[in-house]
Amino acid sequence: MKLLKKNESKLPGAVKDIAIIVAGVAIVWIVLHFILDTGNPFYVVSSGSMIPTLNVDDVLVVRNGGSYDGLKLGDIIVFHRPQGDDKVIVHRVAEVQVNMQGDRVIRTKGDANPSSIPGTDFPIRKNDYIGKVVFVIPGAGLVTKIFSPPVNYIIIGLILIILFMNRLRKKNDRETSQPSSGGALDSSSSPPPPSSPSPPSSPRG
């Protein structure tokens, strides 16, 4: 009887924790949606055309926000295949052209491909463009094979939260590890003799 009551007392706490996690993921999703300005900020790499830069099952965080007009050589972008079936491609920008109407036309190429593929890598226009890759989570796409939506999105959101908290913790650790400049002096020690100023040392890379 006591064991049952103990388990019952733990249940509300577990439900509360789950609710907090789900709410946190939802908030992260909404924030990413507005910051990255795209309908779906997550894409999973499904082929090896971008190896070694991107591997199969890597999760891509994609940003739009009008970034098409600012694309340059070397940017990795996600876009709809301009010809044929509605397939989503992730390749690197290889050329930026401007046609006679003044519109930008992009040509891309997979890092592992010997050349650009007509109908796939070009011509990419603004209406084909989805977004620019701004962050990569290696291997996280495996959860999409194990879990179906929305569980997979929740797990990916949790991974992002963990990465963010880990970076924040490291930043706080660095700040707290720095010695305070306003600390009290030891009254038992005598003041050091005056010395001539030395030239500043060069910064470390």
Q: Say which CATH number the domain at 125 has.
A: 2.10.109
Q: Is residue 89 part of a domain?
A: yes
Interval 10-27: pLDDT, tens: 445 555 666 666 676 667
Q: DSSP string covering 124-167, please?
A: B-GGGEEEEEEEEETTTTHHHHHS-TTHHHHHHHHHHHHHHHHH
Q: Is residue 157 part of a domain?
A: no
Interval 45-87: pLDDT, tens: 999 999 999 999 999 989 886 789 999 999 999 999 998 767 9
Domain that holds residue 111: 42-140
For the chain, the domain total comes to 1
User: For the whole model, what pTM was predicted?
Assistant: 0.60
Structure tokens at 17: 């924790």
Among 23, 15, 77, 10, residue whose Cα is nearest residue 50: 77
What's the rounded Cα separation, in Å, for the pair 97 and 118?
Answer: 15
CB 95 within 8 A of CB 106: yes
Q: Is residue 58 part of a domain?
A: yes
Q: Which residue has the tokens 């876009």?
A: 79
